[in-house]
Amino acid sequence: MGKGKSIGTAGELAACEFLISKGYTVRETNWRLGHLEIDIVAQEANANHLHIVEVKTRTSTEHFDPMEAINPKKIRNLVNAANGYISHNELQMTVQFDVMIIEGTEPDFIIHFFPDAFEPPLRTVR
């Protein structure tokens, strides 16, 4: 890993490279709306479908399951950020929430890609 580059930054870069190698276009990285953040906003070629990608990078998952970090609060924040992104950019697209677990150290990352990892929670009207 290069001097000054954090494991998280390196993992997000590896995640972008992985998506690009699979034919995705990376529209944004680290997009912010107030305190909310989307790690990667991507789109498949010729698709009217937006991918909101949460990236979790760990040198080892031996004592930690990175999927545990995708808790209900994180899901709510990602959904709210996605709604903000769509509104801000005036998009008419369907949205899918993906998770990427990046494990190990650069350049030997192991990438676990979980497309459509969760559905946004439904809001009921009372």
Tens digits of per-residue pLDDT, 90-107?
999 999 999 999 999 888
122 occurs within a structural domain? no
When divided into structural domains, the chain yields a total of 1
Q: What is the pLDDT of residues 36-58, one digit of tens each?
A: 999 999 999 888 999 999 999 98
Query: Could you tell me the CATH number of the domain that includes residue 67?
Result: 3.40.1350.10
Q: To which residue do tokens 């790690």 refer? A: 39
Which domain covers residue 108, as residue numbers?
7-114
84 occurs within a structural domain? yes
Structure-block tokens of residue 117: 């990892």
1: pLDDT confidence band, cut at 50, 70 and 90? very low
CA distance 72 to 20: 29
43 occurs within a structural domain? yes
50 occurs within a structural domain? yes
Is residue 85 within 8 Å of residue 66, measured between CB atoms?
Answer: no
The amino acid occupying position 106 is E
52 occurs within a structural domain? yes
